[in-house]
Amino acid sequence: MKIYKILFFLILGIFLNIHLNAAEQVKPLKIDWSFKGLTGKFDRASLQRGYQIYKEVCSSCHSMQYLSYRNLSEPGGPEFSIEEVKAIASSFEVTDGPDSQGEMFTRPGRPADKFVSPYPNVNAAMAANGGAYPPDMSVIVKARSGGADYIYSVLMGYVDPPEGLILDDGVYYNKYMPGQKIKMPKPLSDDLVEYADGTPATEAQMAKDITTFLSWAAEPELETRHKTGVKVLIYLILLSVLVFLSMKKIWSRVDPKI
């Protein structure tokens, strides 16, 4: 019995710490994401729409410097075809060089290139955005407690400020942001983009799609991880059964009085 007692307390202790770490702001909206759970997968169409939102809306301020265009065609991601990715990449101008004359030059992007950033450096980004740095979005879902639910909530959390609250210029009210103040203006509104697949572009739909895309960007290995994990668990459990039976047999040789 004591085994259970200790394990129970240890695990309880660990989880309490984690949950209480996160419990300091307004509870985010809960979405039933397709990529949660042991066998969770991304919704392919949603990822593709999410990329469209990133390209047409977010990417004017936010970089995603750890992603390459080739990632968009890789399994477990939006899975655009190779041709589509080549077309996407070549629509960007990439600075390359120096050439044999020592000059930098621009050329159309290739799938192997990293996502082109909107600003050359952090200071330029801050100067263009009223002193606030639009964070790189490569791992933003992992970098916020609450994860995908939190990102979705912030996108949907632009409401009118309570009466009497005076906001400075360039500061917006968002009920899910810690401190309720955010320097990003409301990024999404109904029919802001026209989805290539004809899905009605409501604000909630767009928020869901971009959050799905960002979740994949943060954890591109998620589907492989889940699939491998299920196999590993099955293997370990089967092996445990065999080892358990062997153990019983071996120990049966010892004086069974004890």
Q: Please write down the HEC assignment for all residues of 174-214.
A: ECCCCCCEECCCCCCCCCCCCCCCCCCCCHHHHHHHHHHHH
Q: Which is nearer to other proteins, 100 or 251 (CB)?
A: 251
Beta carbon nearer to other proteins, 201 or 215: 215
φ, ψ of residue 173 to 5 degrees: the values are -95, 130
Q: Name the minimum Å distance from CB 244 to other proteins.
A: 6
Q: How far is the CB of 177 from other proteins (least distance, A)?
A: 13
Residue placing its CB nearer to other proteins in the complex, 99 or 255: 255
Q: Is 201:46 a contact under the CB 8 Å cutoff?
A: no
Q: How far apart are alpha carbons 211 and 148 in whole angstroms?
A: 6
Q: Where does this chain bind other proteins (CB under 8 A)?
A: 1-3, 6, 9-10, 12-14, 16-18, 20-21, 24, 38, 65-67, 71, 135, 138-140, 142-145, 147, 178, 218, 220-221, 225-226, 228-230, 232-233, 236-237, 239-240, 243-244, 246-247, 250-251, 254-255, 257-258
Smallest distance, other proteins to C-beta of residue 169, A: 22
Q: Find tokens 């991601």 and name the residue.
A: 77
According to DSSP, the β-strands at 181-182 and 172-173 are antiparallel
In the complex with other proteins, the residue whose CB is nearer, 38 or 196, is 38
